[in-house]
Structure 1
């Protein structure tokens, strides 16, 4: 059975915009009803589940996540065998490193948990990691991987966590589990081009400071699980990332930096000062607003549009993002990024000029549109009814390169 966390079973963010407590409860109940309606469809309406996972508040409870996360990852939950990784400890080359990392993971467990219970969960965490690695020898363990695995363990329990983590590791996380960090560095190289599209001044300041992107490494490879102290915010982000393209975490990293624009510009323009500021992630971020902005930016500046700038920094590799179209999430006709695209096109209309922010023009560059002014809560995504991707022309592509 998954752990019932005292502080994590409620909505990822109870601070939905506007309304009385009664209004918020009614809104919550309505969303729960929509989720179960999608789950109980035959077959399950995965398109709707993706939209609801992206939508304001995410999937709300661990009980719901236990049913929806497998759908988002296309993992069957019928007749799951419980295969233990305990016997692998003597033969796994990664065991000692995994053991050290897990022992250092005390802060990832709910405060006040009895030592015996926590120690039991840590043993399960080791087993899940070793089993996934043993079944997929092409994957290489990295420090921070356990921060992702423990999130799944706490939400869905050991039996279900193993197949979910395995699917996640062979798709979304695959680039982080290569023998070298080349693909991870390639993904990090998307950060500055995204910032440049929206705020050239901030981009140029960071370039002048030579801060690089290493400050965002732990954010990316742990899906923010290592740097956020409130588990509710972690699982809210996991709802979002599981429903989206593998590169969405780097877009979310970009909007955090953009959100902190003034703090950065107020720094001394040197690597040490800017790196120190950015590496200390605030815990009181407006998560729903940032999720909304990340989705908007992905739609407006998809990886295919940024790839040439990224390739100028590092020779492009064949990454998980480039092959995501081969990863079938049950429905072959609708992808989560099209949900975001429909939402963006529905909200940003010509008659809404206040929601368009023009970046400053540069020599030999087109004036760019940014959507950082588009702060409509993701609850509005519920209005963007998901239809077949075949209605789109031209077809929205997910490849890194056109």
Structure 2
């Protein structure tokens, strides 16, 4: 898909060649990636939401009309990806309910797994080896709900979150649950509701978080090491300070494995970041903390 923004396109190339170049070359290699910056939209939030809704209708119509219009649909999907970079992202949860689902279908082609995702029974869920750990983490998520959430809605969502996570793990047998994945699934659940949240959460697990779900968490530091290269490019003195004082890269772990949803308290900030990450290359989150 040619719609991926300039910096993420460059990132794909950078990651692909990461192991082939020296440390000094890596610093230079990343230099131009950071020059791209999000730009503002000079229109109101309501105008942005209205435009996105119209665009979504056009995309869906062209996708339904068959392959002869696939090029037009791809072009409009590219516009949606571009809008994810702009101030405010997709603007509202009402808009996200359609766009997150559409992005999951188009970028990952996971529609073929819907049958698998719907199969687990209640007994399958409560007997899963990760059930107790997931349930314990879910009980600690009360502070993650938007402030206007009623007690009844909060209870209903908590009841849905554990089965949602376990169903993803059943459909993705190579995955091992890690503490923090529940933060990802909760954000998706809050926006989409239980039905679509299952589809999108599976897509995120398989295509964005597989490097953490398929390996023990102690290997995560290997993935995080590239952040030091990013810091070196942006602020060499900070990089030198971190390295000289042997600051472990683990400080950034929760940023990456939860898409900042564990660290940020403002619901709109979290969902706006999810807009960006879902429309980006899977390594786009490494760059966000230093923008």
Q: Tell me the equivalent position of 1:312.
A: none
1:57 and 2:57 equivalent? no
How far off is 1:58 after superposition?
A: 0.1
1:104 and 2:130 equivalent? no
Match for 2:197 among 129, 147, 161?
A: 161
1:31 and 2:48 equivalent? yes
How far off is 1:70 after superposition?
A: 1.5
How far off is 1:88 after superposition?
A: 2.4
Q: Tell me the equivalent position of 1:71.
A: 102
Distance in 2 between the 1:58 and 1:114 partners? 26
Distance in 2 between the 1:36 and 1:114 partners? 28
Query: What are the Cα deviations for residues 339-377 of structure 1, in whole angstroms up to 9, with x where unaligned?
Result: xxxxxxxxxxxxxxxxxxxxxxxxxxxxxxxxxxxxxxx
Give yes or no for contact 2:40–2:87 (8 Å, CA) kept in 1.
no
How far off is 1:112 after superposition?
A: 5.4
Structure having the higher helix fraction is 2
Match for 1:188 among 192, 199, 224?
A: 224
Give yes or no for contact 2:180–2:257 (8 Å, CA) kept in 1.
yes
Match for 2:157 among 116, 121, 128?
A: 121
Q: Tell me the equivalent position of 2:241.
A: 205
Distance in 2 between the 1:90 and 1:31 partners? 43
Matches within 5 A, 1:314-353: none
Q: Aligned pair in 2 of structure 1 residues 117, 86: CA closer, same or farther (>3 Å)?
A: farther
How far off is 1:33 after superposition?
A: 3.8
Runs of 4+ in 1 over 6 A off after TM superposition: none
Give yes or no for contact 1:228–1:234 (8 Å, CA) kept in 2.
yes
Give the SS at the match of 1:210: coil
Match for 1:219 among 232, 248, 255?
A: 255
Distance in 2 between the 1:160 and 1:229 partners? 24
Distance in 1 between the 2:102 and 2:258 partners? 22
Give yes or no for contact 2:212–2:220 (8 Å, CA) kept in 1.
yes
Give yes or no for contact 2:254–2:262 (8 Å, CA) kept in 1.
yes
- Give unmatched runs, 5+ long, in structure 2: 1-38, 64-72
How far off is 1:76 after superposition?
A: 7.7
Give yes or no for contact 2:125–2:167 (8 Å, CA) kept in 1.
no
TM-score, normalization: structure 2?
A: 0.74
Q: Aligned pair in 2 of structure 1 residues 248, 57: CA closer, same or farther (>3 Å)?
A: same
Give yes or no for contact 1:57–1:236 (8 Å, CA) kept in 2.
yes
- Give unmatched runs, 5+ long, in structure 1: 1-15, 19-23, 256-289, 291-402
How many pairs does the alignment contain?
A: 233
Q: Tell me the equivalent position of 1:133.
A: 169
Distance in 1 between the 2:197 and 2:140 partners? 20
How far off is 1:182 after superposition?
A: 5.7
Q: Tell me the equivalent position of 2:285.
A: 249
Give yes or no for contact 1:102–1:125 (8 Å, CA) kept in 2.
yes
Q: Tell me the equivalent position of 1:349.
A: none
Give yes or no for contact 2:161–2:189 (8 Å, CA) kept in 1.
yes
